[in-house]
Amino acid sequence: MKKSLLALACGAFAYGAAEFVMMGILPQAARDMHVSIPTAGNFISAYAIGVCVGTLMLIFGRKMGPKKLILIFMAIALAGDLFSSFAPNATLLVIGRFVSGLPHGAFFGTSALVAKTLADPGKEAKAVSLTITGQTVANMLGVPGGTFIAEHLSWRLAFLILAGVAALTVVLVAVWVPHVEPVKDAGILGQFKFLTKPGPWVILLAVFTGNTGIFSWWSYVSPWLQKVGGYTSGMVPLLMMLAGFAMVIGGLVGGHLTDHWRSAGTAGLGQCLSVIGLVLIFFMPGNRFDTAIFTFIISFALFFISTPQQLLLAEAGKGGGELIGGAAVQVAFNFGNAVGSTVGGGMLNMSHMNYHFTALGGIPFALTATILLAIYSLRYETDTDAYERLQPIDV
């Protein structure tokens, strides 16, 4: 099981770094492609749109084993990262980013199913959080590393290295991940049957609005750290490492709490924390200490909510829609990513490049997500099995 989770975590690292590295190298890529910072936000949005479109691959791959699907997804990521590395202009870089994002949601939905299948009873959330740890480690090491490489060598080299990680994952998955039976074939329409209920839509809307709120600010975190925090571009990789460390801790703590409490309740707590962070970013004038603390808080919250939301949709899709359910979370996540970067770019243009306003644009969305998760938890998670878990004590 540990080797299998390590292989899946390696893939999560490849996708996590590919998704988030652009935030750290945005100034260099924008300069090289001769576009403005708000326009370069399209490099972020293109990946997110690819995630949304690529999930449809699961419809046609529903009869394949999860292991084979993961190998296909990693091969596509390899091709997209290579294309991005050698893209000669902004248009082709957008295309490369789109291709890289295509298998993202499908990968995480499938890897969550494999992790749950291999996990011991009662430790499903922990197993899923361990695979997602690859994504958080990508933010702790991969994104700062990519930012450092972009600052001192070339942002293109960062994508070339990610292609190498994708190739390594192909090998590890082929060797370490055992055969897992395909999910029940419920037909094309049967995969989406769980979406006829209101509960999953509440969670998906919460994921979308929550990430729209966070990514309105996070998409422009590199210039924000420099313009508001006063950091030099050479210091940004260290701040990205701090953010990645917060994501690792947030992901592990969120997974542990989910195994012992309400999934939506856990996600709601994390989302509330992100609202507080965004409010502080907008109202505080900002200095080196403040911006470092705010970066840590919101980064922690971002992945604290990841595992419970992933499990909520995977559970909702039982009976043939498990893969679609798990992938749907990533679709909503990255759709929010795309919209958030657009909202943040619009706030920058409206405020004449005042980077405090990226947080202001995200606050209403993040607050909406918190309310939705609270409503879901109160409506659907009232039975926590607390009485059944009580242990008798002899005196």
In terms of residue numbers, what domain contains 244? 2-380
In a domain, 393, yes or no: no
In a domain, 387, yes or no: no
Spatial distance between the Cα atoms of 159 and 156, rounded to a whole number of angstroms: 5
* Per-residue pLDDT, 375: 87
User: 254-307: per-residue pLDDT in tens?
Assistant: 877 877 777 888 888 888 999 999 999 998 887 888 888 999 999 898 888 877
SS3 percent helix, strand, coil of the chain, rounded to 5, is 80, 0, 20
* Per-residue pLDDT, 386: 46
In a domain, 389, yes or no: no
What's the domain count of the chain?
1
Supply 243's token pair. 């953010």
In a domain, 13, yes or no: yes
User: 8-63: per-residue pLDDT in tens?
Assistant: 888 888 888 888 788 778 888 888 888 887 778 788 888 888 887 887 777 776 67
Closest CA to 274 of 294, 251, 247: 294
Q: Residue 117 to residues 95, 123, 182, 307, 314: CA-CA distances in angstroms?
A: 35, 11, 11, 15, 12
In a domain, 390, yes or no: no
* Per-residue pLDDT, 25: 83
Spatial contact of 190 and 251, defined as CB atoms under 8 Å apart: no
In a domain, 240, yes or no: yes
Q: Rounded to 5 degrees, what angle do the CA atoms 115, 81, 331 make?
A: 50
In a domain, 136, yes or no: yes
Spatial contact of 331 and 52, defined as CB atoms under 8 Å apart: yes
Stretch 311-320: mean pLDDT: 69
pLDDT for 105 beyond 90: no
In a domain, 279, yes or no: yes
- CATH code (residue 17): 1.20.1250.20
pLDDT for 389 beyond 60: no
User: 221-231: per-residue pLDDT in tens?
Assistant: 888 888 888 88
